[in-house]
């Protein structure tokens, strides 16, 4: 298990939802001079997807080396094929992660863009319309999807670039000449950047050296928490270690608040509900977000620790998927992230222990059954990665 390594002198900017992220991304792509690495789980066939696709193509047509990696499950087979044909014709290098699930159910759930090794974007935002549901492209949401990405400048960008390039290599078969060229490229010194105050770390989860790195980052922060923890996640079904860390923090007097998205997948809601009695008994505040689709995977601990990324707090993200988060040690950034989460909590519905206690036995039994099924499925999936 690799340790979380922080790097000084970074500028980390929080971008809320696609309205902030896509203009910043396209501005960076239009300014690209020599290299773009782009990863996403979903690359939708909608006006937002067309806008990003066209910006990537414009860069390639200027002579920029553009590499795009999408996930086969997230982008779906036929859209991925159509996208690949368009990109290939336009000179964009294109690959699909784990086509036809040849490597089991492994998914590249990461959302990363690196431009000229000077600016990087890491977060939870897919390439799709904020107003359309992730899993039902024609279903319009009641309000724009709630999600975040960070824009990073500074020394950390070199690490993000190297990881994205490594993922590109793992996703394809390269000839010897191509491997030599990429090795030479990786040895180049990254461009000099200005120094900024934020300490930050780039943490990934894979099935090789980083099987528990993202969870470890969370556990370390929860173990050191002194007064508050705010955590927002679309799906809540972490392992025992994670749940115990939340409970221990609450028992120490730390104010622990979970903001959980509901209403997207009934089975996932039932699994989350199975944890509520224990969470509430441990003094953890649980709030359900029902305003729109909560897709953010963010947290703030105390006044100076925050994370933004692609990793949900569930078994798929913590134990199976390929994921990527940025962890920031900076009071200003943490305060900004905290303000966003607190506003979302005001839009949520608190779960009260007395109300939950009056739920009928049949529904309560269904929650327990959902958890047992979920646990069994996760164990089956995990066999291939043990």
When mean pLDDT is compared across 90-104, 157-171, 182-196, 304-318, the lowest value belongs to: 182-196
Concerning whether 244 is annotated as a catalytic residue, the answer is: no
Concerning whether 302 is annotated as a catalytic residue, the answer is: yes
Check whether 183 has a pLDDT greater than 60.
no
Concerning whether 102 is annotated as a catalytic residue, the answer is: no
Catalytic option among 54, 116, 282, 347? 116
Which one, of 281, 273, 290, 279, lies nearest residue 346 by Cα? 290
Q: What is the pLDDT of residues 190-209, one digit of tens each?
A: 555 556 789 999 999 987 77
Rounded Cα distance between 370 and 382, Å, is 18
Concerning whether 116 is annotated as a catalytic residue, the answer is: yes
Q: Would you tell me how many other CB atoms lie within 10 Å of the CB of residue 72?
A: 19
Catalytic option among 161, 273, 285, 297? 297
**Consecutive H or E run containing 293:** none
Rounded Cα distance between 171 and 287, Å, is 39
Concerning whether 184 is annotated as a catalytic residue, the answer is: no
Catalytic option among 269, 295, 314, 330? 295
Which position has the token pair 């947290």? Answer: 299
Catalytic option among 129, 302, 314, 330? 302
Concerning whether 111 is annotated as a catalytic residue, the answer is: yes
3-class DSSP assignment, residue 360: coil
Which one, of 281, 278, 300, 282, lies nearest residue 345 by Cα? 300
State the average pLDDT over residues 77-90: 94
Q: What is the rounded average pLDDT for all residues in the chain?
A: 91
Which one, of 44, 40, 100, 92, lies nearest residue 70 by Cα? 40
State the average pLDDT over residues 363-371: 88
- Between the CA atoms of 78, 83, 85 and 87, what dihedral angle is there, to the nearest 10 degrees? -160
Which tokens sit at 344? 């979302």
State the average pLDDT over residues 296-308: 98
Catalytic option among 11, 35, 71, 109? 109
Which one, of 51, 58, 30, 196, lies nearest residue 115 by Cα? 30
Check whether 137 has a pLDDT greater than 80.
no
């Amino acid at each position: 298990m690799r340790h979380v390594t922080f790097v000084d002198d970074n500028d980390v900017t929080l971008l809320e939802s696609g309205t902030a992220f896509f203009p910043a991304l396209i501005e960076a792509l239009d300014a690209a001079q020599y290299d773009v690495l782009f990863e996403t789980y979903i690359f939708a066939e909608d006006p937002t997807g067309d806008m990003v696709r066209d910006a990537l193509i414009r860069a390639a047509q200027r002579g920029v080396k553009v590499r795009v990696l999408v996930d086969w499950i997230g982008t779906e087979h036929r859209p991925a094929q159509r996208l690949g044909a368009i990109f290939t014709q336009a000179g964009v290098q294109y690959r699909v992660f784990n086509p036809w699930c040849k490597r089991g159910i492994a998914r590249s759930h990461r959302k990363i863009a690196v431009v000229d090794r000077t600016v990087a974007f890491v977060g939870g935002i897919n390439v799709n319309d904020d107003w359309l549901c992730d899993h039902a492209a024609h279903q319009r949401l009641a309000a724009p999807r709630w999600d975040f990405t960070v824009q990073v400048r500074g020394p950390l960008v070199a690490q993000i670039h190297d990881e994205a390039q490594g993922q590109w290599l793992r996703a394809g078969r390269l000839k010897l000449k191509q491997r030599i060229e990429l090795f030479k490229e990786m040895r180049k010194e990254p461009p000099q950047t200005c120094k900024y105050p934020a300490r930050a770390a780039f943490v990934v989860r894979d099935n090789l050296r980083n099987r528990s790195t993202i969870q470890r980052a969370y556990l370390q922060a929860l173990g050191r928490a002194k007064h508050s923890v705010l955590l927002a996640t679309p799906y809540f079904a972490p392992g025992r270690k994670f749940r115990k860390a939340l409970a221990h923090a609450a028992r120490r007097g730390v104010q622990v608040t979970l903001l959980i998205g509901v209403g997207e997948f009934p089975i996932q809601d039932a699994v989350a509900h199975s944890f509520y009695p224990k969470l509430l008994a441990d003094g953890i505040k649980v709030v359900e977000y029902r305003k729109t689709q909560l897709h953010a995977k963010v947290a703030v601990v105390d006044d100076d620790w925050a994370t933004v990324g692609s990793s949900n707090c569930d078994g798929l993200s913590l134990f199976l998927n390929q994921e990527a988060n940025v962890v920031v040690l900076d009071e200003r950034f943490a305060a900004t992230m905290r303000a966003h989460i607190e506003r979302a909590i005001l839009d949520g519905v608190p779960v009260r222990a007395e109300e939950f206690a009056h739920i009928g036995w049949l529904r309560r039994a269904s929650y327990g059954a959902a958890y047992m099924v979920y646990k069994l499925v996760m164990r089956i999936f995990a066999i291939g990665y043990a």
